[in-house]
Amino acid sequence: HQGYVKYQPLSDYEAQRRGGKGKSAARIKEEDFIDRLLVANTHDTILCFSSRGRLYWMKVYQLPEASRGARGRPIVNLLPLEADERITAILPVREYEEGRHVFMATASGTVKKTALTEFSRPRSAGIIAVNLNEGDELIGVDLTDGSNEVMLFSANGKVVRFPETQVRSMGRTATGVRGINLGEGDSVISLIVPRGEGDILTVTQNGFGKRTAVTEYPTKS
């Protein structure tokens, strides 16, 4: 949440039985929390998307390797971010496959889909992944195969589900199209690409949660 990053071997975590006490994964301050965990190979590329709609590249081995009890390093020390810019989404990529897309969502409800191959040429200063309107910011990113469905969730509890085929593939510098209509003061806080007929776990800021089958959310045609 506060922008620290690290990697460590999976062997640091041995399997435990259900009901185990668990182990500390990182040393974090009281007001901080772990925002994203992923399993990757050291030679995988991490696509780092910022609140300003820019993309930066890092190899996993370029991240600090640290123990379970360590905080890691601030990502602002590893990437050329602006003073008010922060990383809001990351994607691990092994190969830039044809037919795969990067699907993006902004706080104002704009969505955009761009071929993954458009992001296959790393540049040290980063590149524009999506052109944002003033006051907007990129909040979520995921990979799709051209036939997935997409779900957008708002801060006020609104949700929309639609097939990604409704959004054509666009170039890097395009702004995107409207993905959800929001009320005054509302904003998109989460992008999900459901895979299979599973459940969606929804948790509020105050700790209330519920599990709902994906099929209970109607598809917008």
Structural domain boundaries enclosing 178: 97-221
- Token pair belonging to 170: 């666009």
Contact partners, residue 200, CB within 8 Å, separation at least 6: 151, 192, 194, 211, 212, 213, 214, 217
pLDDT in tens, 194-208: 988 889 999 998 989
- Boundary residue ending a domain (63, 94, 125): 94
The answer to whether residues 64 and 19 belong to one domain is yes
The answer to whether residues 31 and 139 belong to one domain is no
The answer to whether residues 130 and 76 belong to one domain is no
The answer to whether residues 213 and 150 belong to one domain is yes
Counting as low any pLDDT under 50, the low residues of the chain are none
pLDDT reported for residue 100: 98
The answer to whether residues 103 and 90 belong to one domain is no
- Boundary residue ending a domain (49, 65, 94): 94
The answer to whether residues 84 and 154 belong to one domain is no
pLDDT reported for residue 123: 94
Instruction: Please state the pTM of the whole predicted model.
Output: 0.86
- Residues 202/212, Cβ–Cβ less than 8 Å: yes
- Return d(Cα 4, Cα 2) in angstroms, integer: 6
The answer to whether residues 132 and 48 belong to one domain is no
Q: How many domains does the chain have?
A: 2
pLDDT in tens, 86-109: 999 999 999 999 999 999 999 999
pLDDT reported for residue 65: 86
pLDDT reported for residue 182: 98
The answer to whether residues 118 and 88 belong to one domain is no
- Return d(Cα 119, Cα 173) in angstroms, integer: 12
**Secondary structure class of 28 (helix, strand, coil):** coil
pLDDT reported for residue 16: 72
The answer to whether residues 187 and 82 belong to one domain is no
